Structure 1
Amino acid sequence: MEHNKILGVVLAGGKSLRFGRDKSQAILGNKNLINHVLDKILIKFDEILIVANHKIKFNKNDKIDLISDYYKDLGPLGGIYSAMKWIKDNNKPYEWIISFPTDTPFFEAKILDEFLNKTNEKEKKLFFIKSNNKRHNIFGLWSLDLFKSLEKDLLENNERKVETWANKIGVETININFEGQDPFFNINTTDDLEKAKKYI
């Protein structure tokens, strides 16, 4: 799939309840978690959109825009909807968005390339990464063709769970094999952050 069809989207609107504070701003090594993610994807896409509902610090770049959710408290699906609506409201040329969490700092760009190379845009409208038999619902490739359906399910049917909605729509999982350190290790708690520091 051509990268210029895709908008990179970082979902940073979560409340980080288990972490106790905004984990996108937690420091790992010499930078905060969101910059770990941005540094990996910035060279891959023409533009990056961050969806956050509060002020956050990140390394500014002309390719990066920051917006808040159009509708609050809708969870990650609300962030996906907001990114799609931003594309439409601003007449952007993108046909797909690819979503990333802020709490998974160890994935590598080569994983992203493998994922995109294995997707077939003519077969499905939604793809998730799966690694070692675990599906990662925030690492997703979403067609803009899903916008109307997502809008209805969010605003009229009160759908909130990514997994439930994806299964209903029909999602294809792309398996990524790895050995050794888990590139999808995500930081949900302060204990997880301490473990991640040992990886660094």
Structure 2
Amino acid sequence: MDHNNILGVVLAGGKSLRFGEDKCQVKLGDKLLIDYILSEIIGEFEEVLLVTNNSINFKKSKKISLINDFKKNLGPLGGVLTAMKWVKENNKNYQWISTFPADTPFFKTHILREFLQTINFNESKLFFIKSNNIRHNIFGLWSIDLLEKLEEDLNKGDRKVEIWANKIGVKSINMHLKNQNPFFNINTKEELVTAEEILKND
């Protein structure tokens, strides 16, 4: 698969209710949390779209465009639809979007490469990474062909990624990963402390 057909998308529009502030803007070690995932994926795509509802800081790059959710309070599916609409409205040639959360500092480039290389793109219009029997619903590859159906279902009230994906028909790409959990995500201040410990011992 030609990666030029894929737009990288970081979903950073969450409310961070459990954290108490915009978690993607907190420092972990010497970097903002959001810069960890950006630094791992930016070399793999021609462009990366950062979907948020706030004015945020990040390590700037000509590759990165920052946009707001087209409509708030639609959850991650709203962010996915926002990215798809951006592709259409800007006459981009991307056929797929590859999505990532903003709060997973230990995800690595080689996992993304293996995920994309393993996919048979004729098997589905939606793929998620699965590891150790856990499906990671925000680490996904979504066909732009899903735009109309996604918008229709969001207008009907669908909000949960897992339920919508199962209804559409998602294919899980199972990956066997050892050592530390690259999908560890930070939702609370306690998990930030845990991440700091992991970082020190890495």
**TM-score when normalising by structure 1:** 0.98
Letter in 2 for 1:172: K
State the alpha-carbon separation in 1 of the partners of residues 171 and 6 from structure 2.
18
Q: Deviations over 1:44-65 (max 9, x none)?
A: 0000000001110001111100
State the alpha-carbon separation in 1 of the partners of residues 178 and 6 from structure 2.
29
> What SS class does the counterpart of residue 40 from structure 1 fall into?
helix
**1:181 matched to which residue of 2?**
180
Any residues of structure 2 matched to 1:149-188 within 5 Å, and which?
A: 149-155=149-155, 157-188=156-187
- Write out the 4+ residue segments of structure 1 that deviate beyond 2 Å after TM superposition: none
Letter in 1 for 2:189: T
Q: RMSD in angstroms over aligned alpha carbons?
A: 0.6
State the alpha-carbon separation in 1 of the partners of residues 108 and 161 from structure 2.
23
Letter in 2 for 1:110: H
Gap runs ≥5 in structure 1:
none
Letter in 2 for 1:178: L
State the alpha-carbon separation in 2 of the partners of residues 178 and 85 from structure 1.
34
State the alpha-carbon separation in 2 of the partners of residues 194 and 96 from structure 1.
35
**1:87 is aligned to 2:87:** yes
State the alpha-carbon separation in 1 of the partners of residues 152 and 15 from structure 2.
24
State the alpha-carbon separation in 2 of the partners of residues 29 and 180 from structure 1.
21
Per-residue deviation, 1:131? 0.7
Per-residue deviation, 1:29? 1.1
State the alpha-carbon separation in 1 of the partners of residues 38 and 138 from structure 2.
15
Per-residue deviation, 1:107? 1.0
Letter in 1 for 2:119: T
**Percentage of identical aligned residues:** 60
**2:148 matched to which residue of 1?**
148
**1:98 is aligned to 2:101:** no
State the alpha-carbon separation in 1 of the partners of residues 177 and 121 from structure 2.
24
Letter in 1 for 2:101: P
State the alpha-carbon separation in 2 of the partners of residues 43 and 181 from structure 1.
23
Gap runs ≥5 in structure 2:
none
State the alpha-carbon separation in 2 of the partners of residues 22 and 196 from structure 1.
17
State the alpha-carbon separation in 2 of the partners of residues 58 and 103 from structure 1.
13
**1:37 matched to which residue of 2?**
37
| Residues paired across the two proteins, number | 199
